[in-house]
Structure 1
């Protein structure tokens, strides 16, 4: 059974393979980025199928999306917290997306029950907006 840190590292390593990343989640597991709601983006997916679709749609627009500079700061028997970065070109705008995520993972029975990620919404807006 994977620990929370092992689950987080596996998710980050598998981000280029949506099916493999989604398979780490429990049947009712949730991936959410609540900060994006302020930008009018529904960034919440529940269940492996929805999570796989969410990740796949991101990769269509940001094909080189990969996590790097991974630092795990906290691990308890059922949670892990870390920071990790992305630097990749956005296909629809031609801009570079530079972002540092903070992620809190809650594990249950060796699967991801919840992965809640925070990010800099201004950096996301600048990279994904055709206006700025």
Structure 2
């Protein structure tokens, strides 16, 4: 009788803390109580370092049909109860090519490869 032994090869996580290099800021807009109508004030909710990726080309066509011009995927450490991303919030990325852009959060979910991180999908609508 022969016993078959399977050896599993270690696969390192796709994201680790060394990949979190880009400063990001999550915020929401609050209406201004001042005399000027339509003015809005930015209220910062959470700041951290993140890994920022553009969406894949296959997803780009789907993004265009959903009315977004540019989409990004942001991976951050799970802030637990300190901050929970919402589709009413925005994110700004402090990196060349992303500055002065307000990305609206579309979705967030735990990273399936590592429960210490969450992925946030954000986009700029047309």
TM bin (shorter chain): under 0.3
TM-score normalised by L of structure 1:
0.26
Which structure has the larger Rg over C-alpha atoms?
2
Task: Specify which structure has the higher proportion of helix.
Answer: 1
TM-score normalised by L of structure 2:
0.27
